[in-house]
Structure formats: C-alpha cells, structure tokens
A = this chain, B = another copy of it.
C-alpha cells in the first residue's frame, strides 16, 4: 500500500508561470486579505459573515448568538486552506501568525470530546448529528480536515492537524456499523475526500475505513435520511425552501440508491463531484474494482453527455443540478464555479488511478475555462454561475435567467465559490503534477519549479514557457545527483502534432494512454523541449445536443473562445462564421493585454429598423454583410462592462 501514497512524495511546487503566477499574487495580495476582512465583518455594506465571531462565542471568549448559514464554519477553514497553499508558494510571517491565531481559536472552540461545529455548539447544543441530510456538520468537518492537511504540508506545523484528528477520531467513534453507532452519511459529501487526505498524511487506517463506510452506507434501504427525519419528528432545516425536499429528493444528494448501482451524474453538481472525488480516492487506495467501475460509469456519463465545452457541469439553476443526457442549454446553464473545481478534483483522482491523459484533458478544460472564468481579472469579482451565452437586456426581464449575472459580483461575507476558487488557484501545482508509482506525470506545462522524492532519489525540475498562450515549453532538470525515473508527459487532446525532444534529440519513449513515458537517468542540465502547436481549432458538439445544432466554437490550446459585444457589437446571434474563414491569432490589448485573441471574417445579418415587421413572408428580411469577428478567451469575458457574449456561433 505504501507505494500508493503519492501525495507524500511531492516535496514542493512553486508556480513561476507568467500567467498563473499573476493569479498567485492576486490571491495572496487581494483575495486572502479581502476575505479576512469579510470574516471579521469589516467590509461596509457587505452582509455580515460572523464566522470568526461564531468561533469566539463557541470558545467562550465572547457572548452572543450564532449568525450565518449552517455551514458558516467552512468559510474560515477554506480561508485557512487558501492561506496554507499560499504560504507554500511564498512564505509570509505575518499571514502565518494570523493563521496560527485562528487555529488557536479553533482549538479553544473544540469540545472536550473533539467535536467542533459552532452552529450546534452555540445554537443547537444537544442536537448534534440529528440532521445529516441537510445540516453540513460532516461537510464542515471535511473542510477543516482539508485545511489541516494543507497547513501541515505547507508549514510542517501539526497544531491544526491535531485538532482535525481529534475531531476525526470523534466522528469515527460516533459513526460506524457497530451497536450504538450511527449508520449515517453526509447530505453534502466532502468528508470522504477529506478523510482520504487526512489518511494520506497520517496513515491512520481508521480514516480510510471511515471514508469507505460513508461511501458504502450511502443510498442503502431503509434510508438513513428517512430514519433520522422520523426520529426528529419530521422537522426540516431549510424551512423556507419547501417541504423537506432536501431530505426527500434523494437524487439531489446522489443517495437514491447505493453507489454501486448508480451510473449517471445526477443531482446537485457540486455534491456529485465531491462525492466521486472521495470514491475514486478510496477505489485507488483499496484497489476496489467495484468502486472503480462506479467511478468510470458516472465519469463517462458526466463528461460524455453532461459537460459543457467549458468544463462546466450542472445544466439548471433549480437544485444547481444535472438534468439529462445532452441537455446543455447555453443561456440558462448553471455551471457553478465550485462544480468545475469539483470536476477538477474528481479528474485528478481518476488520473491518479488510471494514468490516462483523458482525465487531464478534462481537468485542464475545467481549470482554464470555468475555474479561471469564475474570477475577474482584478481578483475582486466572482461568478457563481458561468453561462455560455448572455443577452443582458433580456436577462433582466425573463425569470429563467434569475440566476445568471451579466457581470461578476463583489465577494461578500458568506460565499462558497470565491474561497474555493482561491484555494484551487494557489494549490494548482497539485494538479500540474501527478506522482504515480509508475512515473511522474506532468499534466500541463505551466511554469513552475517542483521537487519530488522518487525511489532513486530526488527529482527537481523547472518548467518554463508561456502556457497556455504558446505550446512551447522547456522542462529542465535541476537536481544535483542523477536519478533514474519515468517522466510521463501529457500529449494534450487539442494538439495534433506534439514534438518532444530531450537535449535536442527526438524523445524516445512509449505513448501510453495519452502520455509519452520517458524512462532514463535524468541529470542536472537535461532539458526536455516541448512543441505543442496551438492551432486554432473549430469545435463541434455532438448532434445529440440540440442547443449547438449548426453551431461551432473556437478553441486554442485548452482555451475556449467567445464573442463579446465589446468587440463585435450587439445582437451576437446575427453573426455567423463561414466554415472556410481563416482564423488569425492577434494580440489582445488593454485589460486583455498578453492574451491571444482570434480574428476572422464573418457575416452579420443586419438588424432591421425598429418598426420593421416581427414576422414577414417568403423573403428573409435580412441583408448580410461581412464583419470581422473577434473572439476572446471565454474565461476573460465580462471584464469590460456588461454586454452580450456567446461561445457557440452559427457556422455559415
């Protein structure tokens, strides 16, 4: 089993990429301080967070009442996780001290038996574990565990890890198959994946067993959510939201039947991918073929039938949920930022298990499009919902668009997506590299410096380039002592003719599942050069998708492009792209400086005068003229004010 513990082999990754490096800076200097002010209720006009105050009250340091959502605690632990990954990128003594103080606050708020949740300690003492379906205790525990692992890995400090393990031990005592234990599992998955991280760091087999327990119990009959609902007399938490639907709609929580019997991505998209991330991790660590097959089935359904070209998932706002196969409306999409992050997490665990570039392709697609797009270029505004088509003047009046915002919003007190984006961006190195027993997999080529322990010694490497704007990259070996190991270099799906050289010679290796495996002794000064031509590609969706019939999208490297009103005028639905128009790369300017745009000759159907008839007979009431179309990377839309946007364009 020891050989499978791959996270521990990763010593250190520093992002030096000109593009992603800027995001590291934004998170450290803008996002983390802003969130700190939010957690302390120091932001005027923002909804209060009260999250730190809740901990102080639970710790007996302050009088007052709990305020916030049932998962308010997780805002603090997500912040701690982001801080941890940021410290691993760049030390910051003052920030680390602030985090240490928060950790001490958590220690004081923790109950003697290890329990730690301020909602229940302050607001509903005695009601612990009575409403797993709705109340997020195990979810909050999971975010605490993730923060603890990150903080330990970033700083070597064990204080938060001890708090997490005390709580995990308590949960392990409460839940299980024995007499007197609860056979429940969370309404919002998260603890499964978090326990697996805790297990990787601590090697405590009870944590692995507990994660497996939660997964195996899920969806069994008689249904635990019904049992606990009965036991508490039929009360439900989200009173205003209807008739205990979160308890009754088992599909919403992927708990309608045992996971081993499931084969579709259903329900709340974030819950789905968080759950499957834990499942894939357990499947790999326990060599559980049944769980692996479940992961493969649901993955294939999700990615082959229910995923937007942008790596977004969740086609509808109600339930923030999956709908059905090939139902991918562009304008009413939910495509939550957090769901794309969860898809990255699920893809990462599948990649660790399968060593197949397909998972990295999806991970990269979700990251460079929906996750990056979730945050404005200024680092201060965020999307929860990521549509592929918008027309603001109609959105304001048609309630099917109520969830869609035409521009990113300030990040206020209580929020899931912004801190999730923050922690993902500062931890991106963990997605760049996948250290597996058979090879060190390099998934995409963002500039970075990384150090790994491999069986033959220490492997240090530096990636340089300007990914994802150019496909030219260089991987230089910097470790002092020669080390024999396999490097597996991803050959991206979007690249027709990758050229890879080692010290100037065409690389000799075997391509397995989309990775070029290079096995040799690597010496300081060895250089791998990659040439991954990023020709602009036309992308077509399956004709099973009705929303993209007759339409085309553009992609260059991993980036999906879109038309925006700022460059192309309004009424984008009247623009079309002839199938033979050459596609030219041009340099962006202004806020799009440094980005590669695409220009091409397109056609525009003229907008008729206001008094023209709504319907006309026989002759299309149109005059068609040529117009230069400018496509920008979709993740960078809505950084120039409010306007129309669309990814899928009619092909003429």
Q: Which residues of B contact A329 (CB under 8 A)?
A: 398, 400
Measured between C-beta atoms, what is the minimum distance from A538 to chain B in Å?
6
Contact A319-B539, Cβ < 8 Å, known A546-B573, A574-B549: no
Residues of chain B within 8 A of A542, CB atoms compared:
608, 612-616, 621
Give the CA-CA distance A652 to B230 in the complex, in Å: 59
Interface string of A313-333 (1 = CB under 8 A from B): 001111100011011010010
Q: Counting CB contacts under 8 A, is A77 at the interface? A: no
- Asked if A415 CB lies within 8 Å of chain B CBs, one says no
SS class of chain A's interface: helix, strand, loop or mixed? loop
Q: A537-B618, A617-B494 are in contact. Are A543 and B394 (CB under 8 A)?
A: no
- Beyond A398-B327, A539-B616, whether A650 also contacts B549 by CB under 8 A is yes
Task: Check if A309 is an interface residue, CB within 8 A of chain B.
Answer: yes
A616–B541 Cα gap in the complex (Å)?
6
User: Is A277 in the interface zone, CB < 8 Å from B?
Assistant: no
Output the least CB separation between A629 and chain B (Å): 15
Q: Which residues of B contact A573 (CB under 8 A)?
A: 546, 549
Q: Tell yes or no: A544 within 8 A of B by CB.
A: yes
- A364 CB, nearest partner CB in chain B, Å: 14
A22–B232 Cα distance when bound, in Å, is 59
Query: How does the 8 Å CB contact mask read for A519-559 relative to B, with 1 for contact and 0 for none?
Result: 00000000000000000011111111110011010010000
**Measured CA separation A543–B542 after assembly (Å):** 26
- Whether A155 is near chain B, meaning CB under 8 Å from some CB there, is no
Please tell me which one of the listed residues B309, B398, B607 contacts residue A615 in the complex, with CB atoms under 8 A apart.
Answer: B309
Determine if A12 is an interface residue (Cβ-Cβ < 8 Å): no
Q: Are B622 and A543 neighbours in the complex by a CB distance under 8 Å? A: yes
* Contacts A323-B394, A397-B323 given; does A607 touch B543 at CB 8 Å: yes
Shortest Cβ distance from A120 into chain B, in angstroms? 30
Among candidates B324, B400, B576, B614, residue contacting A397 with C-beta atoms closer than 8 Å: B324
Please tell me the number of chain A residues within 8 Å of chain B, measured between CB atoms: 61
Say yes or no: B398 contacts A538, CB within 8 Å.
Answer: no
**Nearest Cβ distance between residue A649 and chain B, in whole angstroms?**
11
Per-residue CB contact flags for chain A residues 326-342 toward chain B (1 = under 8 Å, else 0) read 11010010000000000
Is B538 a contact partner of A618 (Cβ separation < 8 A)?
A: yes
A540 touches B397 (CB 8 A): no
Q: Contact check, B400 vs A400: say whether CB atoms are below 8 A apart.
A: yes
Contact A621 B543 (CB under 8 A): yes
Residues of B within 8 A of A324 (CB): 393-394, 396-398
Are A541 and B615 within 8 A (Cβ)? yes
Q: Is A233 an interface residue (CB 8 A)?
A: no
Binds B, one of A171-179, A210-218, A220-228, A299-307: A299-307
Does A605 count as interface, using CB distance less than 8 angstroms?
Answer: yes
Distance in Å from the Cβ of A619 to the closest Cβ of chain B? Answer: 7
Complex CA–CA separation, A540 to B399 (angstroms): 26
Contact call A332/B400, Cβ cutoff below 8 A: yes
Q: A44 within 8 Å of B by Cβ?
A: no
A47 at the interface (CB under 8 A from B): no
Contact: B327 with A605, CB < 8 Å?
no
A579 to chain B, nearest CB (A): 8
A241 to chain B, nearest CB (A): 12
Contacts of A315 in B (CB 8 A): 398
Give min CB distance, A521 to chain B, whole Å.
37
Separation of A546 and B323 alpha carbons in the complex (Å): 24
Q: Which residue of B lies closest to A547 (CB)?
A: B573
Nearest chain B CB to A370 CB, angstrom units: 14
Whether, in the assembled complex, A391 has its beta carbon less than 8 Å from a beta carbon of chain B, the answer is yes
Q: Residues of B contacting A621 with CB < 8 Å?
A: 540, 542-543
User: Which residues of B sit under 8 angstroms from A619, Cβ to Cβ?
Assistant: 540
Contact of A608 (CB < 8 Å), options: B543, B571, B608: B543
CA distance A226 to B239 in the complex (A): 28
CA distance A620 to B576 in the complex (A): 16
Q: Is A512 at the interface (CB under 8 A from chain B)?
A: no
Among A303, A304, A537: residue with most chain B CB under 10 A: A304
In the assembled complex, A606 has its CB within 8 A of some CB on chain B: yes
Residue of B nearest to A315 (CB): B398
| Chain B residue, CB-CB nearest to A319 | B399
* Shortest Cβ gap from A389 to chain B (Å): 9
Which residues in chain A, 571-603, are within 8 Å of chain B measured between CB atoms? 571, 573-574, 576
List the B side residues contacting A607 at CB < 8 Å: 543-544
Most buried by B among A332, A546, A608, A650: A546
Which chain B residue lies CB-closest to A494? B617
Q: Contacts A399-B318, A549-B573; is A620 near B540 (CB within 8 Å)? A: yes
A434 to B399, CA, bound (A): 39
* Pairs across A and B, CB under 8 Å, 25 listed: A315-B398, A316-B398, A317-B399, A317-B400, A324-B394, A326-B394, A327-B397, A329-B400, A332-B332, A332-B400, A391-B546, A538-B617, A540-B616, A540-B619, A540-B620, A540-B622, A542-B613, A542-B616, A543-B571, A543-B606, A543-B621, A544-B608, A546-B571, A552-B620, A555-B617
